[in-house]
Structure 1
């Protein structure tokens, strides 16, 4: 009887170590999981997020196939924006070739299939390295890849979230670098470059956190300081190569983040019970957002006494702590958001995906423990067979949950394409796919960051190009494409040409000077007849591509030398890694391009910065227990014709303010009823901690009057510590305010 379990384990291991057989199994499992999405190929996902995210891919395909251009600029959304610098676009990666080949919508389910296979293979390689068990890595790989997040991403159109499946390749590349293997440089830089080009503004920073953890583990594993210094040198070179290889996308994104910062407020948190539910589901409910088949716990439990479990165990605990967000007083997620580039993260529960990953690694280690003991112990051999069976059951459960979520996808027929000259329309951000098919731009913007949009954009113009002074002459379109416009202009005197698209500093003109005209793309032209050619040639897009080419050239050279058994010395590797970044610095210094100023406006379009209180504002001059002053408030006497109450508070920051300080607004009825309009971000742009000091900050917000009872209401304003929940002391012109609430004004809601 002892022979039977050993034969089963050896047969399974043979499949695991034979690449062709292993990949056949992974392909079969991925096909099984993606069967429903593949059946939905060609249809349009009607979910609101998909309308925005997918349309970017459709626009990019159209730009390449119809106009023969690189999709740097997209005029079809938000009045025109820098496509390569938009966080949610995913065309700057190899999967875009599939969209060009079969169409963007038909490519998406195929991409799901391919990413599942790539994710399983990557997990197999990393988990095998960590566990020393090919069999353990083989049977747990599908449990990782069939995570509920992938099914949710398909259902909601978050195709760029498939990039999370590249996590094991990032970690594997880091582990190889720690072993001073040149292939690790290529693998790490390539995984991050693909992830970032695929719209991985969430996968990249979140994965980078665990890459740093992997690198720290690799350093600590070295036995001497000499070895650690060498590994540190390799890790430094890897970081430089990764930055250089990703510059084609990273530089445009940094430019966008600087001109249009994305602020995330709120303090979301999840209890440990809630985290367990979202990860493991419940009885016969296998469709939770980050579902990991419960049998993985059996496999992970077998690893508890293995030293190999130390690193993934620590990483799993870190992931769980981050996933709880602000639930505990000691919040690791809060500390993470204090770091550069991490302040834009929201939804801490997404770290549950990383918890699932490291639990799966622990499962591989657990099966490896039993596999090594199987030669000496019949119980261990049967235990290994039982765990393999549990993993198979887990695959069935995971696939069932995956399919349940995928079937919820709202698929509607793909809209018919209408060939007509491009023009802007008022649009609808949640129906963007229809406007792209009509070759119409949607001024209504569904982006997740404050796109610099001109208030002068129009969706009803007879011509998209015109002269500011119509009496000065005429402007006629000769040809149109996303990155290039040709016009014939007759001007009796110097005049400005206006294009009904947003201005960006990357636009150039063959005649005259490109300028911003109320935020619109404009060109100052001299008198006379002109053939005007406008081209979009952004420094960050072109310069970033050159930097990436240099980085990949260096990586290719290192890989070639390594293949020929002629490895380079570390100082030469470091020189090759630093070269692209030096070129980046030179390009930034020598290629002058005006920078787009940050968008400092309230959600209602009013300027965030104010030179003085408006004439109708009520002076308040209240001070608080932190260096913030409330100078005044503008409170309407009654709702407007649309039933809205538009308030403006005018703040002034005079020193360092803690991050958790937020604004509370209490609307108190004459009979004691209360409503609130609390918020953490001033004007939808800054936390007090990051706000500019000195000028007045206009904090505009709106309350719907129909939700309020008729009668007179007081507006009481103050500051509070959003982390601790307590109000901050306040003083007005009369002295200390007992309850920390300062009267900003009153209004009346009339009888209906």
Structure 2
């Protein structure tokens, strides 16, 4: 019995080592997991986020297939936006080829299946070296590759988060790069470039942390100064190549974020009990709830125990990193908060969902499970029969865990709200008022939406209109005529006949990438315009962004440089490390030269409140009520504007005027309590002034207008006082005491800034009109 069992295990081990057999298994598991998704191919996901994010891919596909253009500019969203600079678009990933061939909606479930296979195969390649067993690595691969968050992401239109499954390829590539392999540099640079092109706003910065940890882990295994010096040189080459390979997307993103910074405040977090449910509870087949969103089969945790018991040295790293990841996932609900410290770093300040760190938590738990299985298999081949049965039991647990992961994945794919695709209507492009929750329908009508909903403040002109009879028109209607000749996403041709100089306006947002040989391209309150002289002429507007075109050139040059190094190595003539570093530096030097020699106007940030009012003011408006409250920290609450009563929709628009006079910690935020005479309280706390600055980053000695609103729907009628103060929202949550003010101060650090009255609702059977 023991001999036959060992024979089966050895056969399974040999099969796990065969790439074809392994990929066939992973393909079958992925097929079972996303069978429901594949059966829905070609439908329109009616979930609100899907309408926005999926329409980006539809727009990119349309640019390629209908107009034969690269998807540089997207006129169908938010009044026109830079596709390459929009963080959540996946317009410049290789996946666009499949979308263009079969259609964006049909491509999505195929891409989902592909990413599942990639995730499992990547984990196998990473774990095989770490656990020392092909069968152990195979056992752990579906535990990560079929993580249910990927299914949830597909169901609600976040397919770009499938990029989370590429973590093992990054770590495996880092390990190879540490050993001086050019394939490691290609793998790390290629995966990061793919993630950026695929809209990986979270995976890229998150996984950069784990690449750094893997770098330290790999370096610690090297012995001797020579080995480590070579490894550092190889890692420097990898870093330079990765930066240049990502330039095609990184440059546009940096440009966009500088002109429209994305600020995320608040103190997000999940209690430990809920995190455990999210990780270990099997998700239901319907509804939207947190439990099960990051499912890891609880029975698989049994495999972690032998790893911790019998392979402590190899288990130490994944165990520690799994704990750190879970600590990060808790956000601000634990003290001290590791996530709060992370948000102090550049880029990471835009993170708002710490629970996504449960993905690397599951990854390292899967590594521990693979290690535990490998340990039991190794003991069964050289120990008494009881270890053989333990290994058989571990294999059974592994198979059961696979089944649970397939079921959890299938359950979450059924959350998708699929409806038939809308019928497309061929008609000239025009902007429409739109609806941010039904953008997929607008695209089918060849209509742009100026009702924008994004996770970053898209620069939009207040002069955009959805009711124009003609999208291209003259600012001075009496100066002549303008007639559209040709319209494509990246190129517009308009015949203009004017009797005097004027401005040709296009009903799209301005961007510095728009160019015209017939006149100067200008911004008219953010609207795209061209100054044209008198006379007949044909104005041709082309979108040629420096960051996009230049970035693509830099990235192409990076791959050429790496290919040259690989060619030399294959010929047996590898370049010495300093020369190799010089070759990979060429694309970066080219990047610098492009910045210096290719001038382009700067898109300045639009510093406005959510209601469109300027963020800074020269002086207080007459309607502002002086407060002049000074706090223990160098910040003043100068004045406030509180309405007499809410508007017809029940919205009370409030304005606070602040002035910062010295350095402040980033933890300082604003609390706003709206309190009734009966003691009922409504909160409107916020950390960011005007949705743009933390106090620590705000300009000094400048009057800041902080406009926000509260909804009074459902609030009892009567007077509601507005009490304001400062607190350390990102720290110990203590309040900052006010020192002096022109209004009476309350003992709990609150400053009364005014009051409004919620009126009594008039019953529908009462008439306010005299007969």
Q: TM-score, normalised by structure 2?
A: 0.95
Residue of structure 1 equivalent to 2:335: 329
State the partner residue of 1:627: 634
1:599-634 Cα shifts (integer Å, max 9, x gaps): 211111111111111111011111112211111111
Inter-partner Cα distance in structure 2 for 1:221 and 1:504: 50
Partner of 1:218: 218
Confirm or deny that 1:291 pairs with 2:295: yes
Distance in 2 between residues matched to 1:705 and 1:67, nearest whole Å: 49
SS across alignment from 1:58? helix
Contact kept, 8 Å, 1:729 with 1:737, in 2: the verdict is no
CA distance in 2, matches of 1:620, 1:283: 52
The alignment's C-alpha RMSD in Å is 1.6
Question: After superposition, where does 1:650-729 map in structure 2 within 5 Å?
Answer: 650-722=657-729, 723-729=731-737
CA offset digits 1:571-609 (Å, max 9, x no partner) = 122112221111111111111111111121111111111
Q: 1:710 to 1:287 in 2, by over 3 A?
A: closer
Structure 1's 282 and 408: CA in aligned 2 closer, same or farther, altered over 3 A? closer
Residue 379 of structure 1 and its aligned partner are, at CA, apart by: 2.5
The alpha-carbon deviation at position 493 of structure 1 amounts to 0.8
The CA distance in 2 between the partners of 1:366 and 1:598, in whole Å, is 53
The aligned residue for residue 256 of structure 2 is: 256
1:282 to partner: Cα distance: 5.6
Asked whether 1:731 is paired with 2:739, we answer yes
Partner Cα separation in structure 2 for residue 337 and residue 130 of structure 1: 31
1:544 is aligned, of 530, 547, 551, to 551
Q: Does 1:519 align with 2:526?
A: yes
1:309 corresponding residue in structure 2: 315
**Counterparts of 1:380 and 1:195 in 2: how far apart (Å)?**
43
More displaced, 366-375 or 68-77?
366-375
Q: Which residue of 1 aligns with 2:506?
A: 499
Deviations 1:178-206 (A, max 9, x none): 11111101111111111111111111111
Measured at CA, do residues 746 and 348 of structure 1 come closer, stay the same or move farther in structure 2, by a change above 3 Å? same
Match of 2:47 in 1: 47
Quick one: distance in 1 between partners of 2:143 and 2:681? 50
Is 1:191–2:191 an aligned residue pair?
Answer: yes
Distance 1:603 1:401, change over 3 A: same
Q: 1:408 to 1:178 in 2, by over 3 A?
A: same
Structure 1 residue 736: Cα displacement: 6.7
Aligned to 1:565: 572
Gaps of 5+ in 2: 762-771
Residues 187-226 of structure 1, C-alpha deviations (whole Å, 9 max, x = no match): 1111111111111111111111100100111222222344
SS in structure 2 of the partner of residue 351 of structure 1? helix
Correspondence for 1:385: 392
Mapped partners of 2:272, 2:525: distance in 1: 51
1:451 is aligned, of 450, 458, 472, to 458
Contact persistence 1:544–1:584 (CA under 8 A): yes
Moved over 6 A (4+): 283-287
Q: CA deviation at 1:21?
A: 0.9
Number of residue pairs matched? 752
Q: Secondary structure at the match of 2:696?
A: coil
Superposed displacement of residue 283, structure 1: 10
Please give the alpha-carbon distance, in whole angstroms, between the structure 2 residues aligned to 1:310 and 1:174. 19
Conserved in 2, the CA contact under 8 Å of 1:730 and 1:737?
A: no
Shift of 1:750: 2.3
Tell me what 1:608 maps to: 615
1:748 pairs with 2:757: yes
C-alpha distance in 2, partners of 1:263/1:394? 40
The Cα shift of 1:671 comes to 3.9
* 8 Å CA contact retained: 1:466, 1:497: yes
Counterpart in 1 of 2:173?
A: 173
Q: How far does the alpha carbon of each residue in 1:148-190 deviate from its partner, in whole angstroms, 9 at most, with x for none? A: 1111011111110111111111111000011111110111111
Question: Contact conserved, 1:252 with 1:540, CA < 8 A, in 2?
Answer: yes
* Whole-Å separation in 2 of the counterparts to 1:639 and 1:311: 57
Task: Tell which deviates more after alignment, 528-537 or 572-581.
Answer: 572-581
Structure 1 stretches lacking a partner, 5+ long: none
How much has 1:737 moved relative to structure 2? Answer: 5.2
2:164 maps to 164
**CA distance 1:379–1:149, shift in 2 (3 Å):** same
Q: Distance in 2 between matches of 1:683 and 1:690?
A: 12
User: Within the alignment, does 1:137 sit opposite 2:137 as a pair?
Assistant: yes
Residues 1-42 of structure 1: CA deviation (Å, up to 9, x unaligned): 321221121011111001111111111111111111000001
Q: Relative to structure 1, is the Cα distance of residues 707 and 687 closer, same or farther in structure 2, using a 3 angstrom cutoff?
A: farther
| Greater Cα shift, 499-508 or 606-615 | 606-615
Is contact 1:547-1:580 (8 Å) kept?
Answer: yes
Contact 1:50 1:156 in 2 (8 A): yes
- Show the counterpart of 1:60: 60
Aligned equivalents of 1:560, 1:161: Cα separation in 2: 35
2:592 and 2:5 map into 1 onto residues whose CA distance is 61
Q: Which digits, 9 at most, give the CA deviation of each residue in 1:83-136, with x for residues without a partner?
A: 111111112111111101100000000111111111111110000011111101
User: What pairs with 1:97-496 in structure 2 (closer than 5 Å)?
Assistant: 97-281=97-281, 288-304=292-308, 305-306=310-311, 307-377=313-383, 378-496=385-503
Quote the residue 2:766 is aligned against.
none
Confirm whether residue 586 of structure 1 aligns to residue 593 of structure 2.
yes
Deviations 1:239-275 (A, max 9, x none): 1111100110110011111111111111122233222
- Is 2:745–2:752's contact at 8 Å kept on the other side of the alignment? no
Alignment partner of 2:639: what SS? strand
Structure 1 counterpart SS, 2:518: coil
| Contact 1:131 1:137 survives alignment (8 Å) | yes
CA distance in 2 between counterparts of 1:659 and 1:163 reads: 31
CA contact (8 A) 1:176 1:184 kept: yes
- For the residue of structure 2 that corresponds to 1:689, the secondary structure is helix
Cα distance in 2 between the residues matched to 1:691 and 1:718: 17
Q: Distance in 1 between matches of 2:155 and 2:648?
A: 39
Contact 1:467 1:495 in 2 (8 A): yes
CA distance in 2, matches of 1:141, 1:541: 37
| Greater Cα offset, 418-427 or 197-206 | 197-206
Which stretch shows the higher mean deviation, 555-564 or 397-406?
555-564
Contact 1:732 1:742 in 2 (8 A): no
| SS class of match (2:600) | coil
- Structure 2 CA distance for aligned equivalents of residues 650 and 13 of structure 1: 69
